[in-house]
Amino acid sequence: MCRPILSLLVWGTLVASGLGAEQMQLAPRTADAPLPGRPNVLMIAVDDLNSWVGCVGGHPLVKTPHMDALAARGTVFINAHGQSPLCTPSRTSLLAGLRPSTTGIYALEPWLRTVDKWRHWVTLPQYFRQHGYFTLTAGKVYHAVPPKDRPGEFEVWGPPAEVGVRPPKKLIPPTPMGNHPLMDWGTFEHRDEEKGDWRIATWAVDQLKALPREKPFFMAIGFFLPHVPCYVTERWLELYPDDDSILPPVCWYDRDDTPRFSWYLHWYLPEPRLRWMIANNQWRPFVRAYLASVSFVDSQIGRVLEALRDTGREQSTVVVLWGDNGYHLGEKLITGKNTLWEPSTRVPLIFAGPGVRPGGRCRQPVELLDIFPTLIELCGLPARADLEGISLVPQLRDPEAPRDRPAITTHNPGNHAVRSLRWRYIRYADGSEELYDLENDPHEWHNLAGDPRYADVVAEHRRWLPKVNEPPAPGSRSRLLVYNPQTGEAIWEGKPIAPQDPIPEE
């Protein structure tokens, strides 16, 4: 089949500003040609977006009208969970269709293609490209891809994910554990148009206006906020009251019944503990800035969805929106991610478009791992037996359709959470356990794992633990925890943790 060369050349002229020639290379067309009528795909990723989205119900005051409108014309999964509470393993899992415990990618490094076993693995965008889709991306979809590898992953690369304009100096006091420059939040004199996420949305709008209609596209864009630093303009901050009504509920005795090993997963990190936040009068400002960041990103998502509608593509495009991992804002006495509890694993997941029931609200536990096979089925591509997720098409047609397995989140080797419809079970690498009844204890304040009345519940959830637990891939580093069961030694980022070492709580 002849390709529409003229259309692609014209389109390339329109979109190529700032792109090098190597980024515009096309993949060899060695697989199936696109079938008439195949839908486009618009995938929207949001960094560190927890369940604080209106349609997900995670915060009573949050204002996210555009994500809520997307959910209204599609299906929202209110019990969706990432495969890892950390960006690199979570995004690698989603795009490769494999669990972190299968790939061995648990930390911020390595990049998938540096691991011999996965050097030639066909990822989600590559699979669509092989089947005739034109692929393009901007912002943060993968965590990081070296420039030399970018042409092999997507055909067109737009602007990267970035903060954009910054204040002259940090807005908050120096934080513990290194005073990391990203640990900052608040408002200063700047314009929304100066933010990196505005540039990503503008790029996406421009592409939607210029894309040829002769072939389907797979566009993936990734927004930076509400990842720290949460810099917002005053208009977004004013959406939220400057009082304690915005704070999540916490229990000061919350960690008394959690294993010591639970601290090892976030042993020494730049994200401040709740005690520091309160002592420095930063808890409320941070929560307010996080909520304001969510609302700002929602507005940028709205710009992209408006362009999709204005170009007449809304009815012919599958839209999927997801957050890569959750985020604590005081729950469990911490901020940040890197845990196996609900605030760190639960994320928004929304589908809309052809083949999706409008107004659907699914309570079944699902995984970001399921996105890959779902998009394949919705777009009529050949199914793949080598993926570890399960298609969500049954739930997209009927939100009450049952699922035959729970959602599983992994953080570093041997540490897993199993989330069913009612329960969260956690098993750490040293064998310690937690069990929470989310129906009666939605904040996970009461660990029931040691209660013999729940032995059958624990046993049922244990059987879902991954059978494969690959060691960390070569080159793994940054936020890496390993445990030696023979010696009982835990090693955090290359440094052993002694049993008597005090827990860093400030």
Catalytic positions: 87, 143
**Helix or strand or coil: residue 217?**
strand
- For every residue of 197-210, DSSP letters joined together read HHHHHHHHHHHHHH
In angstroms, rounded to a whole number, what is the distance separating the alpha carbons of residues 138 and 199? Answer: 10
In angstroms, rounded to a whole number, what is the distance separating the alpha carbons of residues 317 and 297? Answer: 21
Taking each helix axis from N to C terminus, what angle separates 196-210 and 283-310, rounded to the nearest 10 degrees?
10
Q: 196 CB contacts (<8 Å, ≥6 apart)? A: 139, 159, 160, 161, 162, 163, 164, 224
β-bridge partners, 336: 328
Q: Give which of 243, 251, 338 is closest to 283, Cα–Cα.
A: 243
Q: How many other CB atoms are found less than 10 A from the CB of residue 382?
A: 10
In angstroms, rounded to a whole number, what is the distance separating the alpha carbons of residues 496 and 472? Answer: 16
In angstroms, rounded to a whole number, what is the distance separating the alpha carbons of residues 420 and 404? Answer: 10
In what order do the strands lie in the sheet containing 489-492? 481-484, 489-492, 495-497
Q: Give which of 186, 220, 230 is closest to 200, Cα–Cα.
A: 220
In angstroms, rounded to a whole number, what is the distance separating the alpha carbons of residues 492 and 267? Answer: 7
Q: 289 CB contacts (<8 Å, ≥6 apart)? A: 185, 186, 187, 230, 231, 232, 237
Q: How many other CB atoms are found less than 10 A from the CB of residue 262?
A: 20
**Helix or strand or coil: residue 212?**
coil
